[in-house]
Structure 1
Amino acid sequence: MSRSAVLNIDTQCSFFHRDYWQETDFPAFQQALTRLLNGAQARHIPVVDIFHVEGEGVFSHASGYVKPMPFLTHTPAVTFEKHVHNAFTDTGLDRWLRQRDCNHLIICGIRTEQCCETTARVASDLGYRVTFVTEATLTFPMTHQGITLDVNALRHRTETVLAGRFATPLTVSACLELLT
Protein backbone atom coordinates (compact mmCIF):
# COMPACT_ATOMS: atom_id res chain seq x y z
CA MET A 1 0.00 0.00 0.00
CA SER A 2 1.22 3.45 -0.87
CA ARG A 3 0.93 6.29 1.62
CA SER A 4 1.51 9.74 0.23
CA ALA A 5 2.65 13.05 1.65
CA VAL A 6 3.03 16.46 -0.02
CA LEU A 7 6.28 18.34 0.53
CA ASN A 8 5.63 22.07 0.13
CA ILE A 9 9.16 23.41 -0.16
CA ASP A 10 10.18 26.99 0.64
CA THR A 11 6.88 28.70 -0.18
CA GLN A 12 7.91 31.48 2.14
CA CYS A 13 7.87 35.28 2.23
CA SER A 14 11.67 35.46 2.00
CA PHE A 15 11.44 35.22 -1.80
CA PHE A 16 9.45 38.45 -2.08
CA HIS A 17 12.63 40.24 -0.97
CA ARG A 18 15.11 38.70 -3.43
CA ASP A 19 16.38 40.80 -6.33
CA TYR A 20 15.30 38.16 -8.87
CA TRP A 21 11.67 38.04 -7.66
CA GLN A 22 9.16 38.41 -10.49
CA GLU A 23 5.37 38.41 -10.39
CA THR A 24 5.05 37.04 -13.94
CA ASP A 25 4.41 33.38 -13.09
CA PHE A 26 3.27 33.89 -9.51
CA PRO A 27 -0.54 33.95 -10.09
CA ALA A 28 -0.47 30.62 -11.98
CA PHE A 29 1.79 29.13 -9.29
CA GLN A 30 -0.56 30.31 -6.52
CA GLN A 31 -3.55 28.78 -8.27
CA ALA A 32 -1.82 25.45 -9.01
CA LEU A 33 -0.32 25.11 -5.54
CA THR A 34 -3.59 26.00 -3.82
CA ARG A 35 -5.42 23.38 -5.91
CA LEU A 36 -2.82 20.75 -5.09
CA LEU A 37 -2.74 21.45 -1.36
CA ASN A 38 -6.52 21.66 -1.05
CA GLY A 39 -6.92 18.46 -3.05
CA ALA A 40 -4.37 16.64 -0.92
CA GLN A 41 -5.94 17.73 2.34
CA ALA A 42 -9.43 16.78 1.08
CA ARG A 43 -7.98 13.28 0.55
CA HIS A 44 -6.44 13.27 4.07
CA ILE A 45 -2.91 13.37 2.67
CA PRO A 46 -0.53 15.20 4.99
CA VAL A 47 1.09 18.39 3.75
CA VAL A 48 4.57 19.03 5.13
CA ASP A 49 5.85 22.59 5.00
CA ILE A 50 9.60 23.04 4.63
CA PHE A 51 11.23 26.44 5.17
CA HIS A 52 14.75 27.43 4.20
CA VAL A 53 16.59 29.19 7.03
CA GLU A 54 19.96 30.95 6.91
CA GLY A 55 21.92 32.80 9.58
CA GLU A 56 21.57 36.22 7.96
CA GLY A 57 19.53 38.02 5.33
CA VAL A 58 15.96 37.52 4.14
CA PHE A 59 16.07 33.78 4.90
CA SER A 60 17.00 34.34 8.56
CA HIS A 61 14.52 34.22 11.41
CA ALA A 62 15.58 37.78 12.30
CA SER A 63 14.20 39.02 8.96
CA GLY A 64 10.67 38.00 9.89
CA TYR A 65 10.19 36.55 6.38
CA VAL A 66 10.57 32.86 7.22
CA LYS A 67 6.83 32.30 7.21
CA PRO A 68 4.23 31.02 4.73
CA MET A 69 3.30 33.23 1.81
CA PRO A 70 -0.01 34.98 2.58
CA PHE A 71 -2.07 33.04 0.02
CA LEU A 72 -1.45 29.73 1.81
CA THR A 73 -4.42 28.67 3.92
CA HIS A 74 -3.66 24.97 4.47
CA THR A 75 -2.81 23.49 7.84
CA PRO A 76 0.49 21.63 7.62
CA ALA A 77 0.78 18.29 9.37
CA VAL A 78 4.28 19.33 10.43
CA THR A 79 6.86 21.98 9.54
CA PHE A 80 10.59 21.46 9.14
CA GLU A 81 13.43 23.92 8.64
CA LYS A 82 16.33 23.21 6.32
CA HIS A 83 19.70 24.86 5.87
CA VAL A 84 20.72 23.21 2.58
CA HIS A 85 19.03 22.69 -0.79
CA ASN A 86 17.28 19.40 0.04
CA ALA A 87 14.57 18.91 2.65
CA PHE A 88 16.13 15.79 4.20
CA THR A 89 19.61 16.69 5.47
CA ASP A 90 19.50 17.26 9.24
CA THR A 91 15.76 18.01 9.35
CA GLY A 92 14.10 14.86 10.74
CA LEU A 93 11.83 14.67 7.67
CA ASP A 94 12.88 11.15 6.69
CA ARG A 95 12.18 9.82 10.19
CA TRP A 96 8.79 11.58 10.33
CA LEU A 97 7.75 10.12 6.95
CA ARG A 98 8.92 6.59 7.80
CA GLN A 99 7.12 6.65 11.15
CA ARG A 100 3.92 7.26 9.17
CA ASP A 101 4.75 4.69 6.48
CA CYS A 102 4.78 7.37 3.78
CA ASN A 103 6.56 6.02 0.70
CA HIS A 104 5.22 8.35 -1.99
CA LEU A 105 6.21 12.03 -1.98
CA ILE A 106 4.61 14.80 -3.97
CA ILE A 107 7.00 17.71 -4.51
CA CYS A 108 5.90 21.34 -4.95
CA GLY A 109 7.16 24.78 -3.94
CA ILE A 110 9.96 27.20 -4.80
CA ARG A 111 12.48 26.96 -6.76
CA THR A 112 11.79 24.33 -9.38
CA GLU A 113 15.38 23.53 -10.36
CA GLN A 114 16.98 24.09 -6.99
CA CYS A 115 15.40 23.00 -3.72
CA CYS A 116 12.45 21.17 -5.31
CA GLU A 117 14.58 19.22 -7.79
CA THR A 118 17.30 18.50 -5.21
CA THR A 119 14.72 17.20 -2.74
CA ALA A 120 13.22 14.97 -5.44
CA ARG A 121 16.63 13.48 -6.23
CA VAL A 122 17.47 12.81 -2.57
CA ALA A 123 14.01 11.37 -1.92
CA SER A 124 14.44 8.96 -4.82
CA ASP A 125 17.87 7.93 -3.55
CA LEU A 126 16.30 7.26 -0.13
CA GLY A 127 13.79 4.89 -1.76
CA TYR A 128 10.69 7.06 -2.00
CA ARG A 129 8.44 7.08 -5.05
CA VAL A 130 8.39 10.72 -6.15
CA THR A 131 5.82 12.76 -8.05
CA PHE A 132 7.04 16.18 -9.18
CA VAL A 133 4.19 18.62 -9.79
CA THR A 134 6.02 21.12 -11.96
CA GLU A 135 3.10 23.53 -12.40
CA ALA A 136 2.94 23.80 -8.59
CA THR A 137 6.58 24.91 -8.49
CA LEU A 138 7.92 28.39 -9.13
CA THR A 139 11.24 29.61 -10.46
CA PHE A 140 12.82 32.60 -12.15
CA PRO A 141 15.06 33.11 -15.20
CA MET A 142 18.73 32.28 -14.66
CA THR A 143 21.79 33.44 -16.59
CA HIS A 144 25.09 31.57 -16.82
CA GLN A 145 27.96 32.30 -19.23
CA GLY A 146 25.82 34.84 -21.06
CA ILE A 147 22.97 32.42 -21.73
CA THR A 148 19.63 33.00 -20.00
CA LEU A 149 17.24 30.13 -19.39
CA ASP A 150 13.68 31.36 -19.02
CA VAL A 151 11.17 29.73 -16.68
CA ASN A 152 9.84 27.36 -19.35
CA ALA A 153 13.34 26.18 -20.24
CA LEU A 154 14.19 25.60 -16.58
CA ARG A 155 10.98 23.64 -16.01
CA HIS A 156 11.54 21.55 -19.13
CA ARG A 157 15.14 20.86 -18.11
CA THR A 158 14.04 19.82 -14.61
CA GLU A 159 11.35 17.48 -15.92
CA THR A 160 13.82 16.03 -18.44
CA VAL A 161 16.46 15.15 -15.85
CA LEU A 162 13.94 13.83 -13.30
CA ALA A 163 11.62 11.79 -15.56
CA GLY A 164 12.35 8.07 -15.58
CA ARG A 165 15.20 8.49 -13.13
CA PHE A 166 14.18 10.30 -9.96
CA ALA A 167 10.52 11.30 -10.27
CA THR A 168 7.38 11.26 -12.34
CA PRO A 169 6.44 14.78 -13.47
CA LEU A 170 2.67 15.30 -13.38
CA THR A 171 0.18 18.15 -13.59
CA VAL A 172 -1.94 19.03 -10.58
CA SER A 173 -4.96 17.35 -12.18
CA ALA A 174 -3.07 14.15 -12.99
CA CYS A 175 -1.56 14.03 -9.52
CA LEU A 176 -4.92 14.46 -7.78
CA GLU A 177 -6.49 11.85 -10.07
CA LEU A 178 -3.71 9.45 -9.08
CA LEU A 179 -4.58 10.03 -5.43
CA THR A 180 -8.28 9.28 -5.82
Structure 2
Amino acid sequence: MSASATAKSALIVIDIQESFRQTPVWSDANLPAFREAVLRLHHGARENGVPVVHVFHVGRAAPFTKESGFVTALDWLPQNADVVFEKHTHNAFSDTGLDLWLRRRGIDHLVISGIRTEQCCETTTRVGSDIGYAVDFVTEATLTFPMTHAGSGRTYSPEEIKMGCELVLAERFARIASVDQVLSSWQKKIRD
Protein backbone atom coordinates (compact mmCIF):
# COMPACT_ATOMS: atom_id res chain seq x y z
CA MET A 1 0.00 0.00 0.00
CA SER A 2 2.94 2.38 -0.32
CA ALA A 3 2.71 5.37 -2.60
CA SER A 4 4.12 5.19 -6.10
CA ALA A 5 6.64 7.72 -7.40
CA THR A 6 3.81 9.53 -9.21
CA ALA A 7 1.41 9.68 -6.25
CA LYS A 8 0.15 13.09 -5.20
CA SER A 9 0.10 13.39 -1.41
CA ALA A 10 -1.89 15.21 1.25
CA LEU A 11 -1.10 15.46 4.95
CA ILE A 12 -4.18 14.59 7.02
CA VAL A 13 -4.06 16.02 10.57
CA ILE A 14 -6.82 14.47 12.67
CA ASP A 15 -8.40 15.77 15.90
CA ILE A 16 -5.47 17.75 17.28
CA GLN A 17 -7.97 19.77 19.28
CA GLU A 18 -8.50 21.29 22.71
CA SER A 19 -11.36 18.87 23.38
CA PHE A 20 -8.89 16.14 24.33
CA ARG A 21 -7.21 18.27 27.01
CA GLN A 22 -10.59 18.39 28.76
CA THR A 23 -10.97 14.60 29.00
CA PRO A 24 -9.90 12.38 31.92
CA VAL A 25 -7.55 10.39 29.65
CA TRP A 26 -5.41 13.37 28.65
CA SER A 27 -1.73 13.20 29.53
CA ASP A 28 1.20 15.40 28.50
CA ALA A 29 3.60 12.46 28.89
CA ASN A 30 4.06 11.79 25.15
CA LEU A 31 3.08 15.25 23.94
CA PRO A 32 6.56 16.71 23.24
CA ALA A 33 7.64 13.95 20.82
CA PHE A 34 4.20 13.89 19.17
CA ARG A 35 4.18 17.69 18.75
CA GLU A 36 7.67 17.64 17.23
CA ALA A 37 6.70 14.90 14.74
CA VAL A 38 3.51 16.68 13.68
CA LEU A 39 5.27 20.03 13.29
CA ARG A 40 8.01 18.44 11.17
CA LEU A 41 5.37 16.92 8.90
CA HIS A 42 3.41 20.18 8.73
CA HIS A 43 6.54 22.19 7.90
CA GLY A 44 7.71 19.58 5.38
CA ALA A 45 4.34 19.59 3.66
CA ARG A 46 4.48 23.37 3.32
CA GLU A 47 8.07 23.27 1.99
CA ASN A 48 7.20 20.63 -0.61
CA GLY A 49 3.83 21.92 -1.82
CA VAL A 50 1.85 19.11 -0.16
CA PRO A 51 -1.69 20.15 0.83
CA VAL A 52 -2.46 20.10 4.55
CA VAL A 53 -5.91 19.01 5.73
CA HIS A 54 -7.09 19.56 9.30
CA VAL A 55 -9.99 17.48 10.57
CA PHE A 56 -11.77 18.16 13.88
CA HIS A 57 -14.23 15.94 15.69
CA VAL A 58 -17.59 17.44 16.59
CA GLY A 59 -19.66 15.24 18.87
CA ARG A 60 -22.85 15.33 20.91
CA ALA A 61 -21.23 15.58 24.33
CA ALA A 62 -18.88 18.15 25.82
CA PRO A 63 -16.02 18.76 25.32
CA PHE A 64 -16.58 17.76 21.67
CA THR A 65 -19.66 19.92 21.03
CA LYS A 66 -19.25 23.19 19.14
CA GLU A 67 -20.93 24.92 22.08
CA SER A 68 -18.19 23.76 24.47
CA GLY A 69 -15.69 26.04 22.74
CA PHE A 70 -13.06 23.27 22.73
CA VAL A 71 -13.38 22.17 19.09
CA THR A 72 -10.36 24.28 18.20
CA ALA A 73 -6.78 23.40 17.36
CA LEU A 74 -4.28 22.90 20.15
CA ASP A 75 -2.39 26.17 20.48
CA TRP A 76 0.81 24.86 18.86
CA LEU A 77 -0.80 23.53 15.67
CA PRO A 78 -0.18 25.83 12.69
CA GLN A 79 -3.38 27.45 11.44
CA ASN A 80 -2.40 27.45 7.76
CA ALA A 81 -4.27 24.35 6.60
CA ASP A 82 -5.44 24.30 3.01
CA VAL A 83 -8.84 23.11 4.17
CA VAL A 84 -10.59 22.20 7.43
CA PHE A 85 -13.28 19.53 7.78
CA GLU A 86 -15.49 18.60 10.71
CA LYS A 87 -16.34 14.96 11.29
CA HIS A 88 -18.99 13.27 13.39
CA THR A 89 -17.71 9.69 13.11
CA HIS A 90 -14.41 7.96 13.86
CA ASN A 91 -13.19 8.28 10.28
CA ALA A 92 -12.49 11.51 8.43
CA PHE A 93 -14.42 10.49 5.30
CA SER A 94 -18.05 9.82 6.26
CA ASP A 95 -20.19 12.84 5.34
CA THR A 96 -17.30 15.32 5.50
CA GLY A 97 -16.53 16.10 1.85
CA LEU A 98 -12.90 15.05 2.32
CA ASP A 99 -12.96 12.34 -0.36
CA LEU A 100 -14.40 14.70 -2.98
CA TRP A 101 -11.92 17.44 -2.06
CA LEU A 102 -8.98 15.03 -2.45
CA ARG A 103 -10.18 13.49 -5.71
CA ARG A 104 -10.83 16.88 -7.32
CA ARG A 105 -7.16 17.66 -6.70
CA GLY A 106 -5.89 14.33 -8.01
CA ILE A 107 -4.60 13.31 -4.57
CA ASP A 108 -4.18 9.56 -4.22
CA HIS A 109 -1.78 9.27 -1.29
CA LEU A 110 -2.55 10.16 2.34
CA VAL A 111 -0.16 10.75 5.23
CA ILE A 112 -2.03 10.19 8.50
CA SER A 113 -1.27 11.96 11.78
CA GLY A 114 -3.29 13.03 14.81
CA ILE A 115 -5.12 11.98 17.98
CA ARG A 116 -6.01 9.05 18.81
CA THR A 117 -3.79 6.45 17.21
CA GLU A 118 -6.17 3.49 17.54
CA GLN A 119 -9.39 5.36 17.02
CA CYS A 120 -9.75 8.12 14.45
CA CYS A 121 -6.28 7.77 12.92
CA GLU A 122 -6.53 4.02 12.43
CA THR A 123 -10.15 4.16 11.26
CA THR A 124 -9.39 6.89 8.72
CA THR A 125 -6.47 4.80 7.47
CA ARG A 126 -8.65 1.74 6.98
CA VAL A 127 -11.42 3.63 5.21
CA GLY A 128 -8.96 5.56 3.06
CA SER A 129 -7.28 2.35 1.96
CA ASP A 130 -10.63 0.68 1.28
CA ILE A 131 -11.73 3.50 -1.04
CA GLY A 132 -8.52 3.45 -3.04
CA TYR A 133 -5.90 5.69 -1.44
CA ALA A 134 -2.32 4.68 -0.74
CA VAL A 135 -1.75 5.50 2.92
CA ASP A 136 1.29 6.21 5.06
CA PHE A 137 0.48 5.77 8.75
CA VAL A 138 3.03 7.86 10.65
CA THR A 139 2.81 6.30 14.11
CA GLU A 140 5.23 8.73 15.73
CA ALA A 141 2.93 11.58 14.59
CA THR A 142 -0.05 10.05 16.38
CA LEU A 143 -0.95 10.30 20.05
CA THR A 144 -2.94 8.06 22.32
CA PHE A 145 -3.35 7.30 26.00
CA PRO A 146 -3.35 4.18 28.21
CA MET A 147 -6.42 1.96 27.89
CA THR A 148 -7.73 -0.74 30.22
CA HIS A 149 -9.20 -3.91 28.74
CA ALA A 150 -12.75 -4.37 30.07
CA GLY A 151 -12.47 -8.16 30.40
CA SER A 152 -8.99 -8.71 31.80
CA GLY A 153 -8.48 -5.42 33.59
CA ARG A 154 -5.03 -5.15 31.99
CA THR A 155 -3.92 -1.63 31.13
CA TYR A 156 -2.15 -1.21 27.80
CA SER A 157 0.42 1.55 27.38
CA PRO A 158 0.34 3.99 24.45
CA GLU A 159 3.38 2.19 23.04
CA GLU A 160 1.57 -1.18 23.14
CA ILE A 161 -1.53 0.33 21.52
CA LYS A 162 0.58 1.87 18.77
CA MET A 163 2.36 -1.44 18.18
CA GLY A 164 -1.01 -3.17 17.84
CA CYS A 165 -2.14 -0.60 15.28
CA GLU A 166 1.02 -1.08 13.27
CA LEU A 167 0.56 -4.86 13.41
CA VAL A 168 -2.91 -4.77 11.87
CA LEU A 169 -2.37 -1.90 9.43
CA ALA A 170 1.01 -2.81 7.94
CA GLU A 171 0.84 -4.01 4.34
CA ARG A 172 -2.94 -4.49 4.62
CA PHE A 173 -4.10 -0.91 4.87
CA ALA A 174 -0.95 1.21 4.98
CA ARG A 175 2.76 1.56 4.92
CA ILE A 176 4.03 2.24 8.43
CA ALA A 177 6.29 5.24 7.84
CA SER A 178 8.48 7.48 9.93
CA VAL A 179 8.47 11.26 9.63
CA ASP A 180 11.90 11.03 7.98
CA GLN A 181 10.64 8.54 5.38
CA VAL A 182 7.67 10.76 4.49
CA LEU A 183 9.79 13.91 4.26
CA SER A 184 12.33 12.09 2.10
CA SER A 185 9.62 10.85 -0.28
CA TRP A 186 8.17 14.37 -0.62
CA GLN A 187 11.62 15.82 -1.34
CA LYS A 188 12.34 13.07 -3.88
CA LYS A 189 9.17 13.94 -5.80
CA ILE A 190 10.30 17.58 -5.97
CA ARG A 191 13.69 16.52 -7.38
CA ASP A 192 12.18 14.07 -9.91
**TM above 0.5:** yes
Structure 1 residues 71 and 31 mapped into 2: Cα distance closer, same or farther (>3 Å)?
A: same
Q: Give the corresponding residue for 2:97.
A: 92
State how many pairs are aligned: 180
Matched, 1:40 2:45: yes
Percent of aligned pairs with the same amino acid = 50
C-alpha deviation, 1:33, in angstroms? 0.5
Q: Which runs of 5+ in 1 are unaligned?
A: none
* Partner Cα distance (1:54, 1:114) in 2: 14
- Out of 165, 168, 175, the residue aligned to residue 161 of structure 1 is 168
Where in structure 1 do 4 or more consecutive aligned residues deviate above 3 Å? none
Aligned pairs for 1:73-84 (under 5 A) are 73-84=78-89
Q: Give the corresponding residue for 1:134.
A: 139
TM normalised by structure 2 equals 0.92
Q: Do 1:50 and 1:87's aligned partners in 2 also have CA atoms closer than 8 Å?
A: yes
CA RMSD of aligned residues (A): 0.7
C-alpha deviation, 1:55, in angstroms? 2.5
TM normalised by structure 1 equals 0.98
Q: Which runs of 5+ in 2 are unaligned?
A: 1-5, 188-192
C-alpha deviation, 1:178, in angstroms? 1.3
* Partner Cα distance (2:59, 2:116) in 1: 16
